[in-house]
Amino acid sequence: MAIAATDVSKDRSQARQKRMIADHFDKLEHAKETGKKVVYTFVPGNLTELIDALGMLPVLPEINALQSGMRKKSAEYIAEAEKAGHSEDVCTYVKCDIGMLKSGNVSPTGTRLPPPDLLLLSYTGCFTFMKWFELLKQEYNCPVVMLHVPYQADGMITDEMRRYIVDQLEQVVIPAMEQVAGKKLDMQELEKRLALSAKAEDDLVAVWESARHRPSPIDGYFGGVYYIGPIFSAFRGTEDAVHYYRELREEVTARMATGEGPTTPDGPTTNEKFRIVVEGPPNWTHFYDFWRMFSREGATVVASTYTRVGGLYDLGFRHDSRRPLETLADYCLGCYTNMNLPSRIDLIEQYIKRYDADGFLINSVKSCNSFSVGQLLVLRELEKRTGVPGGFVESDLVDPRYFGKANIDNRLQSYFQMLEGKKRKGAQ
């Protein structure tokens, strides 16, 4: 039986995050009364500082979808969308969101979500986002503004790419946002938020880096998705986020000092046996079951690529308040999903070596071609380059029909047994 989110151990910072989220959804519920404008937008390549500087509130449909998955609501939402003619082949985040909308648009916390005043189609590295907002455009009577972010096909950001984004921000995106907000953008407000972003980013990187310690005081995948919550969503560029990441860093530092492992659904880890790097998004419908398949075996995830979809701060990027629009452009261009396959392989290789991993695992999700296409080649390349064994499981983001619990568990057990054998052989 699946365990409810409320039955699991949590850190103090998690409680703070929960309060922040509840407060945000409360503001959203009362947005029409308070006159706050609501912007629906996406996580990778989001323009949170800009939205906040114009006094608007963001809603992130992917996060609603994943929360619906964790709260066991996604199956009925997906069924609702499929009943309305959406194909069984396509992204379940989209169908979950459409189904949620058709079912009254009640947020994962139980509050009612207001309709958008603006659909801000700023997406990085996933074409489905474009179709998603085309679909939402049919449902809502509001303007849509697009920010097209070029792809890092050759593994680098060029001046032409940056200029293209800045041109769009200056001439299309900001004017459209100002019109909806009913006020001009105050650049100083934007700069202030960008500076706050950089502070939080420093602390987040320290948290990621802590995983180099043995035992790792964090789980960089299952725990990591909580750590990225505020910075990838509505809170980057806020004082709240700065406080959250400072508190998180302190917690992690304290665990490192006492040699404690990460907090798992069943309490703190005491037996780090395997250090794993994970590629691909988690499954949300069986999130805690999936996590336990690792924690039960003493497997800690020391780094993951999913936690970099909203920014690769550990490669050095920080929002720079001295060049506000250029820094937003660089942020959008630099997210993990905007990296080409060879760069993604280089990064995972780097993580395997930097975090001294015993193995790496690919969770290939049906819904996400952006992640999944090429992952079997990623597996081969990484094994060839590092000699570290890779594992491969398949599931989905929020469609419970694609989470074969026994199958995944068997595969993972075999994989960890193989790692165990390899370790024993190495010790002899």
Partner 1 sequence: MIRERLDPAAEVLARAEVLADDLEMRSVRAFKEANPTALVVGHMPIYAPRPLFEALGCLPVAIFGAGDQLDIIRGDSYFQSYICHIPRSTIELGLSGRLESVDAMVFPSICDVIRNLGGMWKLLFPDRLSIYLDLPQNFDSAIGGRFYAGELRRIARELEKKGAKPLQAEALLLAIADENRRRELITELDALRREDPSRVRASEAYTVVRAGAALTARAHADLLDEFVTAAKQRHVRHFDNVRVVLCGSFCEQPPLALIRSLEKAGCDIVDDDFQLGWRMIESAIEVRDGEDPVDALARAYIEQGRPTASRYIADEIKGADLARRVRRLPADGVIFAAASFCDPALLDQPMLEAALRQQNIPFTSFKFAENTGQFQVIREQAGAFSDAVKLWGANV
Farthest-apart Cα atoms in the chain, separation: 70
Q: Which is nearer to partner 1, 126 or 293 (CB)?
A: 126
**Of 168, 188, 81, 186, the residue nearest 120 (C-alpha):** 168
Q: Tell me the window of 166-174, 212-220, 233-241, 267-275 that interacts with partner 1 (CB under 8 A).
A: 166-174
> Whole-angstrom Cα distance, residue 24 to residue 235?
9
Contact flags string 353-372 toward partner 1, x per CB under 8 A: -----------x-x--xx-x
Should residue 146 be labelled a site residue for partner 1 when binding is judged by CB under 8 A?
yes
Least separation, in Å, of the C-beta of 89 and partner 1? 5
**Of 133, 122, 115, 142, the residue nearest 38 (C-alpha):** 115
Q: Tell me the window of 87-95, 196-204, 259-267, 275-283 that interacts with partner 1 (CB under 8 A).
A: 87-95
Should residue 150 be labelled a site residue for partner 1 when binding is judged by CB under 8 A?
yes
Q: Tell me the window of 4-12, 168-176, 238-246, 279-287 that interacts with partner 1 (CB under 8 A).
A: 168-176
Query: In this chain, which of 30, 32, 148, 423 binds partner 1, going by CB under 8 A?
Result: 148
Should residue 373 be labelled a site residue for partner 1 when binding is judged by CB under 8 A?
yes
Should residue 91 be labelled a site residue for partner 1 when binding is judged by CB under 8 A?
yes
Should residue 126 be labelled a site residue for partner 1 when binding is judged by CB under 8 A?
yes
Should residue 135 be labelled a site residue for partner 1 when binding is judged by CB under 8 A?
yes
Query: In this chain, which of 90, 142, 157, 198 binds partner 1, going by CB under 8 A?
Result: 90
Contacts of 76 (CB under 8 A, 6+ apart): 99, 103
Should residue 89 be labelled a site residue for partner 1 when binding is judged by CB under 8 A?
yes
Site for partner 1 in 103-122 (CB under 8 A): 121
Should residue 164 be labelled a site residue for partner 1 when binding is judged by CB under 8 A?
yes
Residues that bind partner 1 (CB under 8 A): 84-87, 89-91, 94, 121, 126-128, 130-132, 134-135, 137-138, 144, 146, 148, 150-151, 153-154, 160, 163-164, 167-168, 171-172, 340-342, 344-345, 364, 366, 369-370, 372-377, 381, 394
